[in-house]
Copies of this chain bind each other. A is one copy, B any other.
Amino acid sequence: MKNGIVLRGDLIWTEGPDRFRYIEGGYLSMEGGIIKGVSAEPPREGTILDYSGSLIIPGLSDLHLHAPQYSYAGLFMDEELLEWLEHHTFPEEARFADTGYAAKAYGAFVSDLTKGSTTRFSAFATIHREASLLLMRLLEDAGLSGYVGKVSMDRNSPKELSEDTHEAVEEEILFIDEASSFSRVRPIVTPRFIPSCSDELMEALGKIAGERDLPLQSHLDENPSEVEWVRALCPWADSYASAYDRFSALGPRTIMAHCVWPTEKEIGLLASTGTYVAHSPSSNGNLSSGIAPVRTFLEEGVNVGLATDVAGGSSLSMFRMITDSIQVSKLRWRLVDDTRKPLRFPEAFYLASKGGGSFFGKVGSFEPGYDADILVIDDWKGSTVLRSELSVPERLEFYAYRHPEEFISAKFVKGQRII
């Protein structure tokens, strides 16, 4: 593909959260996996792929999900968090000691992720090194890109998921070394969360991330009893967030999932360190956690992206996360704090594309120099009587609310077509 590829269709993207950019019947050029630009007229060079009448949007980033939990996403939702972890999450994760089972379960997960709206992801695996590497292999082979973490946990966990501290550190180093054979999928340091990681392990993992120049992911402020627990476990820390900070675990290469119950000071710390928040609206409903103060995050300059948090969330659809994040922000405005305006559709779309995408580099926009992560959506298949009257942004909104998991007809990651 010497002169690059040009996609023709109805282009729409966001460069900032305030509004959409779009060109109806426009052209999107890419070369070597990189966006060259958009235009209203056909460019002089490049092979044209004609998707006239379809929406063409940037790929979407899922900043937090648990790959081994996908098998039971949408099950056992009547149980509360700790019950649910004990009865279902931990027994299911323990199965991934068996790589045969892992191949089957991760195979189904990767197949559905590939068909869906996600192009980039940051995933938790389990404590099992073999199975975690297998997951990376499947994702790499599918053409997806993102991070996978072998989970580290050495306390307050069921026996079959507890590592000895020393062994946890050694296994993590082995995992990172063996994971270096992949190129599109990279390792991420993954302490499950402070309650299941001793100070010694947290310290070692923070150090590994620094020395190996690796990103890190964990959970923060998901629900009030967890916050209380961390207060008891880390009496020396000002807050849950500052406990992570003491282990050098915050920064622009860190994702903290949830952040539903942060204090003002913690929000300041997330902002000043550049830490990313993975906002998981569906999961925070399903697990009775609450509604994160996303408007405050945006106003205070915290980096935010959206996340399915499968299996706390039951859907892999990032479109569902876009519309759910808007819905819960409206409920928060009504029920909790009417000084913080609800999210608007362009803002939520921005969070799912360029907002979360920036964790991975130049990802999630059609600006020149961005990675060519692209979704083509045949939104006319769910056509409304009014379609001919709708603008391109209206069609995107209609699609996101009505058909969030259907009609994706082509998907490119770093310029490579994967469906």
Contacts and interface: CB of A to CB of B under 8 A. Distances in A.
A334 B288 contact: yes
A328 B314 CA distance: 15
A61 interface: no
A105 interface: yes
B74 A397 contact: yes
A49 interface: no
Contact of A331 (B74, B285, B398): B285
Interface stretch (A187-195, A272-280, A383-391): A383-391
Given A78-B344, A397-B77, A398-B75, A335 B290 contact: yes
B72 A384 contact: yes
Contacts of A291: 331, 335
Interface string A285-297: 1111111000000
A401 B76 CA distance: 10
A338 B331 CA distance: 17
Contacts of A204: none
Interface in A257-301: 282, 285-291
Q: Bin the interface of chain A by size.
A: 35 or more
A212 interface: no
A226 to B, nearest CB: 13
Interface string A320-349: 000100111011011110000010110000
A345 B397 contact: no
A326 B78 CA distance: 8
A358 interface: no
Nearest to A74: B401
A178 to B, nearest CB: 25
B385 A71 contact: yes
A159 interface: no
A94 interface: no
A386 B75 CA distance: 11
A13 to B, nearest CB: 18
A402 interface: yes
A411 to B, nearest CB: 20
Contacts of A345: 77-78
B286 A74 contact: no
A2 interface: no
A73 interface: yes
Interface string A242-264: 00000000000000000000000
22 contacts: A71-B386, A72-B398, A73-B401, A73-B402, A75-B394, A77-B326, A77-B397, A78-B326, A104-B385, A108-B384, A282-B327, A285-B327, A285-B328, A285-B330, A288-B331, A288-B333, A288-B334, A289-B334, A290-B335, A291-B331, A314-B323, A314-B401
Among all A-B residue pairs, the 3 with the closest Cβ atoms: A74-B401, A285-B327, A288-B330
Given A291-B331, A314-B323, 17 more contacts: A72-B398, A74-B397, A74-B399, A75-B397, A75-B398, A75-B401, A76-B394, A77-B323, A77-B397, A78-B326, A285-B330, A286-B330, A288-B330, A288-B331, A290-B334, A331-B331, A335-B336
